[in-house]
Structure 1
Amino acid sequence: MDEKLLEKLEYHKILNTLAQHAATSIGKAFAEGLRPSGDLAEVRHRLLGTDEAVTIDRMKGQAPLGGVSDIRASLKRSVIGGTLNASELLDIANTVLGGRRVKRFVDSFREKHEAPILGALCDAVQELREVEDQIRRCIDDNGVVVDTASDDLLRIRRELRTGEARVREKLESIVRSSSAQKMLQDAIVTMRNDRFVIPVKQEYRGAFGGIVHDQSSSGATLFIEPEAVVTLNNRLRELKIQEEREIERILQKLTAAVAGEAEALGINVDLLGQIDFMFAKARLARSMKASLPAVNDKGYLRIRKGRHPLIPLEDVVPLDVELGAGYSAIIVTGPNTGGKTVTLKTVGLLSLMALSGLFVPAEDGSECCVFDAVFADIGDEQSIEQNLSTFSSHMTNIISILKRMTPRSLVLLDEVGAGTDPAEGSALAIAILEHIREMGCRLVATTHYSELKAYAYDRPVVVNASMEFNVETLRPTYRLLVGVPGRSNAFAIAERLGLSKRIIDEARSEVAEEDQRVEAMISKLEEHRLAAERERAEAERLRQESEEIRKELADERKKLEERRTKLFEEAEREAAEAIAKARREAESIIADLRRQALEEGASIKEHKLIEAKRKLEEAAPKLKKKPAPAVRTASPAAVSAGDEVRVLSLGQKGHVVEKQADGAIVQLGIIKMKVALDDLEPVAADRKKTAAAGPTVKRTRDDNVRTELDLRGSNLEEALIEVDRFLDEAIMSNLGQVYIIHGKGTGVLRTGIQDFLRRHKHVKAHRLGNYGEGGTGVTVAELK
């Protein structure tokens, strides 16, 4: 892309904003060097990477890029034999650590989500722990070589601390002596030229001997190293030199280790810069409230509620633009300062951002075309030095565009043909636009010429558009109206500003009749458009209201259903509690009867008590969720008292107790309730359908069928015949369990019956009775 074009469309301002979101200098360099691409695959790859970074930034927060710095210069010096200082080595260690943190950060996201592009970059970052560990063993977080970096350095620094302590002790004894205090300017020990000295008054310079290292600006104070500590200071100086040499040796050793991994470190720096750059694009998208655009190479462009990224959100007016579907060129007309140039720049800048892999400040569903180039002639570039007028500067740019454009280019022309005679300028503008259209380029142009409105009207692939202007307030609204040509509004504005009506009428008479008709037609179109917009807004308001009412009704209906279900559950629970209470009372009575029978010798049969208990268990209601209401029949059911019916709204069966004019009283378990006739369905109808389907054998349960067989006093042969007949009756009656009473006795009858049950094909299992069921005097058989 032409750098001059990028400057016109203010692309570099976007890059500057992008660079501010980068956390490292390497990422800033990538941001500043970003340029649009004309390759569809490359653009899609860039946008996919940005989308991954946006998702990670949204779900996990900002990437931990702290500590990463541009160490490439240090790496280069290490390779050519230079020695890195402690701060440079610490930057290298911090960069290695930063790379490892970023890897862990992205990998934690990849545990549950896909991130192929960022994941590949992080996978390529090498950990290089050995180099980092070597540096951190020798250099602390403040960039100081630690004592334990080597044994020699530890020894030297110990001697240094001991020597410094001896020198200070010697000098402090001199300073504290009463004889010396009058000769000192201050009773302190200080340093000059890395040697310990004391401040002595000028007149006592010979009292201490030694060496004068400095004097005050007034000359009244001399900083003297007394002769008593000269030897000690000399030893300290020697140790300082040894310390510097040992530190230099340590730094050279660490530099050599860095040089051995210089290539891997350089690759890491580049990868971390790319990762930082991608997260910078994500943060830019968040700050602009931008979205991911779809891209194509079919020449199709659609911007939904697009905003110029450099205009504050509270001031910008979104625009909708579609190009390349029904038409390939848009001619925008309208008054000055109405927003035509901003529209051109918005279309161009958003296209460049998409081609650069950046999200665009527009709503979801926007789509950008991958153009091989974007050309623009925007603004006035007249030059006194080059003797170029406004017209000449425009024509120079347009000629350059016409030479370089291709069918895959986007061309943006501002005030095409302006700066010369209107008749010639409009004719030239039409010729230029027609040439660009025939080339197959996508075109957006702005103009004041009314002839271009007619040109757009006559070409099926060219559409008129205008910037809306409020005549009442004499202010533009900055809204782009596609399909409606703009009006000059000159007469209306002049009249609103107070120009005499006579002058305005005279001016109107000078306008050609055809132009007046065109203006009238445009005015009528605008009136219709405004009316349509009002009606559409009203329809949208009504739709929203109806949607809210529908939602409220649905919520109310749901609450009613939940309330009804809750009431039925409460009724069932209460019924269950009543049955449980009755069962407890009955079991208490049965227990009392047994106890009395044992105490008084009464002849109460154990199997009768078993049967009574079983009937109590069967009387307990089964708690279950209320089924969905059945569809009601179209006409009321013909029922009478005593009929078995199904209540459709409840999905339960019951018996009609009493039929009334407006309904029927139905017994449902222990509950009686009044039900409408159209909510009832006779159960006999189901039986008729079953009978019509063909002959079937159905086992039903008769309330008179026995559940126990008493064989006491019978011999084994008679007993087995009775057991076989009893089992057949029980199976036909759908009984699941029966009781065979044989008594205790000698056990012959019990053994024979159990052998017979073991061989019977319809007996699933058998057992002796439990406590309360008759014990060993009863065999309980479970039927298949």
Structure 2
Amino acid sequence: MLGILKSRDSSFMSSSPTEASSERFQTAQPVLDYESVLAWIQESAETPAGQRCLAATKPWDGRAQVEARRRRGKEAKAACKAQQEPPAVRCRDLQAMIQAAGKRVLDGLELVAVGDVLECFASLRAWARRHPQYRSLSECAAAIPDFEELRSGLRNTVDSRGKVLDEADPELARLRRERRKQESLRERRLEELADRWHKRGLLRQRRPVHRGERLLLAVRSTHQGRAQGVVHDRSQSGDTVFMEPGPLVALSNAIADCRLREQQKVHEILRIWSQALWGRREDLFTGESRLGELDAAVATARWSQAVDAVYPEIEDRENAGFEIRQGRHPLLQKQLGREQVVPLTLHLGQAFELLVVTGPNTGGKTVVLKTVGLLALMACAGLPISAEEGSAFSWLDGVEADIGDAQSLENNLSTFSGHLHNILGILDRLTPGTLVLLDELGTGTDPEEGAALGQAVLETLQSRGALVLATTHLGALKLYSTQVARAENASMEFDPRSLAPKFRLLVGVPGASHALEVAERMGLESEILAKARSLSRSDQRTESLLADISRVRREAEIMRERARQDEAEVRETARRIEASKDQAEAERLLRRHEAEAAYRQLQAELEQVFQQEGQRLAGRLAPRERQDLLALLEDARRRLQGHELGRRWQAFLSGIRKNDWVYVPKYKEKLKVLKFDKKRQRVKLRHGHMELELSVHEISWLQPPSADV
């Protein structure tokens, strides 16, 4: 595999950036359900133009276009909230009708539909004049060409049912007057004839009968010879013939001729209008394009309100990355309801660019990948994402995904070959700043070889500047992420008692498959479990080492953060005391704060050494030697705690009781103690109406200055 990876370095930057970005986004869209979300948003669109605009919304189809889409979307959201959104009515597809006008004559109903769109154009232009505060939307609406002449002309040409009006043409009005005059004359004469024939007993019924455009009388067949006229039809029984009286034939022919000339004139009017619309097709297409953008913005705003979505910040920075706060997969939210979806909070590209996620099957690992990938695609397309304010993305260069193995079946490949085929394609297209999502990396083959292969892939992706989010069951890959810079482990929370996944991502905590715990809870025989545990001791040692490293890493990070907070507190305290000119109090408080800060800084530095040396040595030590190393580290901790400051700290912790009040620097206030778990070194506190659980390293033994509380 390493040879294959190296052989692909030569083609690394061969493709055009624009073309490559487009292709990289397109390959990920189907597997990440991007089109399904677009289809959902399209349901809120009022016009075919808006639906087309949304369907054509692609990630990274030009930065200027994406930024313009974001501006319109944000303004549409504000306008909808204020009930001032741009008006868009349901109408037919203008583009299809104008294209048809270039090939044939449009009928009256099609002209009515065109007129409806032109009315919508006029309403949007008027809206733009009334609402200049929505700058991007009003500029878009104002860019619709002026069709007032066409609009008023159509309004005077056809009525709402598509009938061409008399006002459309003087000749048409004359022909219709002539026809109506002749029809009125025919009706009077027919009434006279019907009255006479009825009195003579010739008619089966007195009321005239229509056959096409002809008016006929129902004559008894036995009296047919006594009536003068043209027979047009007979009854099924043969007892009645339907006859046009002879004196009316010439008049009916004249009416038919007049109607034919009228139809020809209507066709001519429709043809002229069709040609006029075709002649302004470019302006009409421009108007419909602007209509589509406005309708798409409003549809997106309505969707955003329905799912409680926000527009993430798009940041310009040298290194690619993102931060998702309380993100949810929108389709999962649609299916289950917002409250049933466990939110995801995750950042990548700040402290680390590689995150390896582990945990049991059905624990939600793939959902994490799909959620991150989908939200990234939506953010890069200028769409809102189902997350909370504060979420942010850099301008990613692409999104690549190898998730699932449906493609393996389609291409007659094994699961392993299918994954490898996808990964090779990703490496061919890869550029720095690409987000790569890999599901079950290294599976489908021998675990040892799969782990080696997976590690080679991760190394290559990192070396090329990619952001990588990978899931795996392989312990070696879990360990790998603790041994390289800017990499981190994560796991899906799992409750071994209930055998239920909690679907919550825990960053910095390596996970296990929990297969043996699940089997034990389900009643697997103890002999089989004992045998399984004896066979999996190597994996257990790996899990134990990962847990140790993770614990030391978390403790070190807490210590470092607390030291930074203490340093800031010292500066703030100095500023306040200096302002009060109380030098004695300043010196006393500064000494105490500096002492605590120095103690915590020492702890943080020691934990950092534990972390670095533990990582470097743990993978090369035998179990007994590793235990000796851990014992040495614990002895160093005890010595530090035996220092005067350490004793004061331990005394402070020993004195914590329920209902005590302790100072929490990051909230700059005292909080009430609800519970103190000495074994876990965790304290549960009341903060307003919420309960918080913090590490003891996040509270202070010092009382704050009075201004802080």
TM-score calculated relative to the size of structure 1: 0.64
Separation (CA, whole Å) in 1 of partners of 2:60 and 2:107 = 41
The offset of 1:173, in angstroms, is 4.1
Q: Report the equivalent of 1:102.
A: 124
The offset of 1:285, in angstroms, is 1.5
Separation (CA, whole Å) in 2 of partners of 1:403 and 1:9 = 20
Alignment of 1:470-509 (within 5 A): 470-509=495-534
Deviations 1:574-597 (A, max 9, x none): xxxxxxxxxxxxxxxxxxxxxxxx
Higher mean alpha-carbon deviation, 306-315 vs 392-401, is at 306-315
The offset of 1:175, in angstroms, is 4.2
**Which of 290, 293, 300 is 1:274 aligned to?**
293
Separation (CA, whole Å) in 2 of partners of 1:38 and 1:162 = 64
Separation (CA, whole Å) in 2 of partners of 1:246 and 1:387 = 65
The offset of 1:207, in angstroms, is 3.9
Q: Report the equivalent of 2:592.
A: none
Q: Report the equivalent of 2:329.
A: 308
Deviations 1:23-71 (A, max 9, x none): 1111111111221106544433321221122122221344321165433
Q: 1:535 to 1:367 in 2, by over 3 A?
A: farther
Letter of the 2:331 partner, please give it. Answer: L
Separation (CA, whole Å) in 2 of partners of 1:93 and 1:177 = 51
Q: Report the equivalent of 2:320.
A: 299
Separation (CA, whole Å) in 2 of partners of 1:218 and 1:306 = 78
Q: 1:150 to 1:513 in 2, by over 3 A?
A: closer
Higher mean alpha-carbon deviation, 34-43 vs 44-53, is at 34-43
Letter of the 2:242 partner, please give it. Answer: F
The offset of 1:440, in angstroms, is 1.3
Q: Report the equivalent of 1:568.
A: none
Q: Report the equivalent of 2:56.
A: 33
Q: 1:201 to 1:382 in 2, by over 3 A?
A: same
Q: Report the equivalent of 1:449.
A: 474
Letter of the 2:80 partner, please give it. Answer: D
The answer to whether the Cα contact below 8 Å between 2:27 and 2:400 also exists between their aligned partners in 1 is: no
Classify the secondary structure of the residue corresponding to 1:395.
Answer: helix
The answer to whether the Cα contact below 8 Å between 2:366 and 2:439 also exists between their aligned partners in 1 is: yes
Deviations 1:686-745 (A, max 9, x none): xxxxxxxxxxxxxxxxxxxxxxxxxxxxxxxxxxxxxxxxxxxxxxxxxxxxxxxxxxxx
Separation (CA, whole Å) in 2 of partners of 1:460 and 1:160 = 92
Separation (CA, whole Å) in 2 of partners of 1:389 and 1:136 = 65
Separation (CA, whole Å) in 2 of partners of 1:271 and 1:311 = 32
The answer to whether the Cα contact below 8 Å between 2:105 and 2:274 also exists between their aligned partners in 1 is: yes
Separation (CA, whole Å) in 1 of partners of 2:502 and 2:63 = 36
Letter of the 2:346 partner, please give it. Answer: V
Q: Report the equivalent of 2:367.
A: 342
Separation (CA, whole Å) in 1 of partners of 2:198 and 2:38 = 73
The answer to whether the Cα contact below 8 Å between 1:181 and 1:187 also exists between their aligned partners in 2 is: no
Deviations 1:368-424 (A, max 9, x none): 122221111110136567441111111111111111111121110000111111111
Q: 1:449 to 1:165 in 2, by over 3 A?
A: same
Separation (CA, whole Å) in 2 of partners of 1:456 and 1:265 = 57
Separation (CA, whole Å) in 1 of partners of 2:475 and 2:200 = 101
Greater RCO, CA 8 A, separation 6+: 2
**Which of 461, 464, 487 is 2:489 aligned to?**
464
Letter of the 2:111 partner, please give it. Answer: L
Deviations 1:424-468 (A, max 9, x none): 111111111111111110000000111111111112311101111
Deviations 1:95-128 (A, max 9, x none): 2221111122233221xx2x33222222221232
Letter of the 1:8 partner, please give it. Answer: V
Classify the secondary structure of the residue corresponding to 2:361.
Answer: coil
Q: Report the equivalent of 1:355.
A: 380
Q: Report the equivalent of 2:171.
A: 152
TM-score calculated relative to the size of structure 2: 0.70
Separation (CA, whole Å) in 2 of partners of 1:254 and 1:326 = 65
The offset of 1:336, in angstroms, is 0.6
Letter of the 1:46 partner, please give it. Answer: R
Q: 1:107 to 1:57 in 2, by over 3 A?
A: farther
Separation (CA, whole Å) in 1 of partners of 2:413 and 2:123 = 58
**Which of 308, 325, 328 is 1:289 aligned to?**
308
Separation (CA, whole Å) in 2 of partners of 1:306 and 1:545 = 22
Q: 1:124 to 1:296 in 2, by over 3 A?
A: same
Classify the secondary structure of the residue corresponding to 2:329.
Answer: coil
The offset of 1:332, in angstroms, is 0.5
Separation (CA, whole Å) in 1 of partners of 2:113 and 2:67 = 35
The offset of 1:221, in angstroms, is 4.4
Q: Report the equivalent of 1:223.
A: 242
Q: 1:124 to 1:40 in 2, by over 3 A?
A: closer
Given the alignment of the two structures, is residue 16 of structure 1 paired with residue 39 of structure 2, yes or no? yes
Separation (CA, whole Å) in 1 of partners of 2:113 and 2:148 = 14
Q: Report the equivalent of 2:30.
A: 7
Q: 1:271 to 1:141 in 2, by over 3 A?
A: same
Q: Report the equivalent of 1:234.
A: 253
Classify the secondary structure of the residue corresponding to 1:21.
Answer: coil
Alignment of 1:515-530 (within 5 A): 515-516=540-541, 518-519=543-544, 522=547
Q: Report the equivalent of 1:424.
A: 449
Classify the secondary structure of the residue corresponding to 1:8.
Answer: coil
Separation (CA, whole Å) in 2 of partners of 1:215 and 1:537 = 101
Q: 1:76 to 1:428 in 2, by over 3 A?
A: closer
Q: Which has the higher helix share?
A: 2
The answer to whether the Cα contact below 8 Å between 1:121 and 1:271 also exists between their aligned partners in 2 is: yes
Separation (CA, whole Å) in 1 of partners of 2:683 and 2:231 = 94
Q: Report the equivalent of 1:263.
A: 282
Separation (CA, whole Å) in 2 of partners of 1:183 and 1:243 = 36
Q: Report the equivalent of 2:354.
A: 329
The answer to whether the Cα contact below 8 Å between 1:38 and 1:372 also exists between their aligned partners in 2 is: no
Q: Report the equivalent of 1:87.
A: 109
The structure with more radius of gyration: 1
Q: 1:119 to 1:211 in 2, by over 3 A?
A: same
Supply the RMSD in Å over aligned alpha carbons: 3.1
Q: 1:514 to 1:391 in 2, by over 3 A?
A: closer
Letter of the 2:389 partner, please give it. Answer: D
Separation (CA, whole Å) in 2 of partners of 1:531 and 1:161 = 98
The answer to whether the Cα contact below 8 Å between 2:88 and 2:295 also exists between their aligned partners in 1 is: yes
Given the alignment of the two structures, is residue 143 of structure 1 paired with residue 165 of structure 2, yes or no? no
Q: 1:471 to 1:24 in 2, by over 3 A?
A: same
Separation (CA, whole Å) in 2 of partners of 1:510 and 1:241 = 95
Higher mean alpha-carbon deviation, 429-438 vs 411-420, is at 429-438
Deviations 1:323-344 (A, max 9, x none): 0000001101011111111110
Given the alignment of the two structures, is residue 65 of structure 1 paired with residue 119 of structure 2, yes or no? no
Q: Percent identity?
A: 36
Separation (CA, whole Å) in 1 of partners of 2:484 and 2:62 = 31
Q: 1:120 to 1:181 in 2, by over 3 A?
A: farther
Separation (CA, whole Å) in 2 of partners of 1:531 and 1:184 = 108
Q: 1:164 to 1:464 in 2, by over 3 A?
A: same
Classify the secondary structure of the residue corresponding to 1:464.
Answer: strand
Q: Report the equivalent of 1:121.
A: 140
Q: 1:242 to 1:45 in 2, by over 3 A?
A: closer
The answer to whether the Cα contact below 8 Å between 1:38 and 1:370 also exists between their aligned partners in 2 is: no
The answer to whether the Cα contact below 8 Å between 1:417 and 1:425 also exists between their aligned partners in 2 is: yes
Separation (CA, whole Å) in 1 of partners of 2:544 and 2:219 = 100
Higher mean alpha-carbon deviation, 59-68 vs 287-296, is at 59-68
The answer to whether the Cα contact below 8 Å between 2:361 and 2:513 also exists between their aligned partners in 1 is: no
The offset of 1:216, in angstroms, is 4.6
Letter of the 2:433 partner, please give it. Answer: R
Q: Report the equivalent of 2:74.
A: 51
Q: Report the equivalent of 2:151.
A: 132
The answer to whether the Cα contact below 8 Å between 1:332 and 1:466 also exists between their aligned partners in 2 is: yes
The answer to whether the Cα contact below 8 Å between 2:309 and 2:385 also exists between their aligned partners in 1 is: yes
Task: Figure out how many residues of one structure are paired with residues of the other and give that number.
Answer: 542
Classify the secondary structure of the residue corresponding to 2:324.
Answer: strand
